[in-house]
Amino acid sequence: MNSDWFKLQNEAEISSPGLLIFIERVARNIRLMIEIAGGPERLRPHVKTHKLGPLVKLQLQHGITKFKCATIAEAEMTAVAGALDVLLAFPPVGPAIDRLIELQQQFPATHFSTIADNEASVRALGAAATRAGFVIEVLLDLDCGMHRTGVAPGDEAARIYRLIAETAGLRAGGLHAYDGHIHEPDLTARTAQCDAAFAGVLELRNRLLRAGLPVPRLVAGGAPTFPIHARHPDRELSPGTTVLWDFGYADKFADLPFEPAAVLLTRVVSKPGANRLCLDLGYKAVASESSPPRVRLLELPDAAAVVHSEEHLVIETPRAGEFEIGAALHGIPLHICPTVALHHEAWVVEDGAARERWPIDARARRLSI
């Protein structure tokens, strides 16, 4: 493998800080997703990681037609790209309900669905759909241990699911269960945790089926549990980070074969000390919700971050003398999803050169709807 794969032939033309998308690596990651899933029809990738219509189109070219998103803007971007089936996996409230209906009106070729976990949301969705003369497919959002959204599997979950099925304007679409709390590095231990978390989900599904209620799908998991859920043919799989990858997941989950496909280009802007470099990679260009290191520099993987502010990243390394003012460095983010949202465009790299710029439209909260 080329150890300098991240360097560009036309690097001098690219402003920093910049986001680079290595399209051959993206394509390889997509092929690996399909291989693990056993076929593109089982996949419902989350677009929140990349927020890019062209990457939705690339997945469509590989036979993936179903997608998952977190915002109305992401849902619109995905529909514009030609997706056939889009799940808004975030509970719509307030104006978001009418915006979801407007999506259905403007993109009739795309099937939209959403989630709910309480009676008030179900009734609000049903009332809005009835007024508009639409039917909204709603999946019951289950809390299988993350304690963020969702209702715990049990009597209340069964009651709400029946309410979805019986509410005018709604159609029961199945179950949605995200196990984002499972981050065990060891695959055997992670599998045991995943299976334990989903025991109640599967029990609820069987209970609903015995009651004569339709449960057409179970949308399960994220990147860490993706290969575990893939072993079970009754589940739709919704990894997200797998498309671009990052060093946070790469370090933690050695069993997952994906490779980084997004790189941050930065440059040395100052040398504030004998062993220090100041880079133009502040926390307005790389996600800062975690403690440093927030980016791993490929030329200086052992460099220590000593100051991180809005526009500046100061690192300490005994190799500082090797880099002149203006020298380019390349970094893999710890967390790629919020990092992409900080950039208004990405440079697409193919055959070692940046070929074109893609606007990251869905980082906005609103497109046309």
Q: Domain ends where: 215, 243, 271?
A: 243
- Given a contact cutoff of 8 angstroms between Cβ atoms, the answer to whether 306 and 318 are in contact is no
Asked if 84 and 107 sit in the same domain, the reply is: yes
Instruction: Give the number of other CB atoms < 10 A from CB of residue 169.
Output: 19
Q: Are 128 and 98 in contact (CB under 8 A)?
A: yes
Alpha-carbon span 329 to 46, nearest angstrom: 29
For the chain, 369 residues long, give each residue's pLDDT as a single digit of tens.
578 999 999 999 999 999 999 999 999 999 999 999 999 999 999 999 999 999 999 999 999 999 999 999 999 999 999 999 999 999 999 999 999 999 999 999 999 999 999 999 999 999 999 999 999 999 999 999 999 999 999 999 999 999 999 999 999 999 999 999 999 999 999 999 999 999 999 999 999 999 999 999 999 999 999 999 999 999 999 999 999 999 999 999 999 999 999 999 999 999 999 999 999 999 999 999 999 999 999 999 999 999 999 999 999 999 999 999 999 999 999 999 999 999 999 999 999 999 999 999 999 999 999
Instruction: Count other C-beta atoms under 10 Å from residue 15's C-beta.
Output: 9
Domain boundary among 212, 243, 274: 243
Q: What pTM does this model have?
A: 0.97
Among residues 211, 243, 275, the one where a domain terminates is 243
> CA-based angle 308:314:316, to the nearest 5?
130
183 and 82 in one domain? yes
CA dist list (Å): 318 to 212, 282, 302, 304, 323 = 68, 21, 10, 10, 11
Residue 4 inside a domain? The answer is no
For the domain that residue 327 is a member of, what is the CATH number? 2.40.37.20
CB under 8 Å to 256, separation ≥6 — which residues?
223, 224, 226, 227, 242, 249, 250
On whether residue 251 sits in a domain, the answer given is: no
Residues 6+ positions from 212 with CB-CB distance below 8 Å: none
Q: Report the C-alpha gap between 144 and 222 in whole angstroms.
A: 13
Range of the domain at 341: 11-18+258-362
Q: Are residues 158 and 219 in the same domain?
A: yes
Strand, helix or coil for residue 17? coil
Classify residue 344 as left (phi > 0), alpha (psi -120 to 50) or beta: alpha
CA distance readout (Å), 149 to 115, 207, 210, 288, 295: 10, 22, 26, 24, 30
Q: What angle do CA 145, 146, 149 make, to 5 degrees?
A: 110
Q: 36 in a domain, yes or no?
A: yes
Residue 274 counted as domain residue: yes
Query: Are residues 266 and 168 both part of a single domain?
Result: no
- CATH number for the domain including 176? 3.20.20.10
Domain assignment of residue 249, yes or no: no
Q: Residue 3 domain-assigned?
A: no
**Whether residue 169 is found in the same domain as residue 212:** yes
- Listed in sequence order, the residues at least 6 apart from 227 whose beta carbon sits closer than 8 Å to its beta carbon are 36, 187, 255, 256
| DSSP reduced 3-state for 98 | helix
Q: How many domains in the chain?
A: 2
Same domain? 106 vs 204: yes
